[in-house]
Amino acid sequence: MGDEFDFEATVEHIENPRDEDETHEMETKNERYAEVIGGQGQDFEDGMYDIFETLTAYAETIEGHEDRFLPDVLGD
């Protein structure tokens, strides 16, 4: 997805610091939350597309104020 939006991206596995089974399928109950948001929902992939589209649309603004976003991380 990063390539599609012309972002340089890498995926790196980070060991889970907690002592739990990483293969466990966590089931969440979110009926009350679904009621609050009126049944709106989005899967992970669509959400990531929305984020990348927003970052791309506001790239100049973000770059122009990069000292305010994660100081000392974005750097040169």
Q: Which amino acid appears at position 17 of this protein?
A: P
Structure-derived torsion over alpha carbons of residues 12, 17, 22, 25, reported in degrees to the nearest 10: -110
Nearest to 9 by CA among 61, 65, 48: 48
pLDDT band at residue 60 under the 50/70/90 scheme: very high
* Each residue's pLDDT tens digit, 11-39: 888 887 888 777 777 777 878 888 888 87
The whole-angstrom separation of Cα 25 and Cα 35 is: 24
The domains of the chain are located at 44-69
Task: Report the pLDDT value the prediction gives residue 34, as an integer from 0 to 100.
Answer: 80
Percent of the chain with pLDDT over 70: 89
Task: Report the pLDDT value the prediction gives residue 73, as an integer from 0 to 100.
Answer: 61
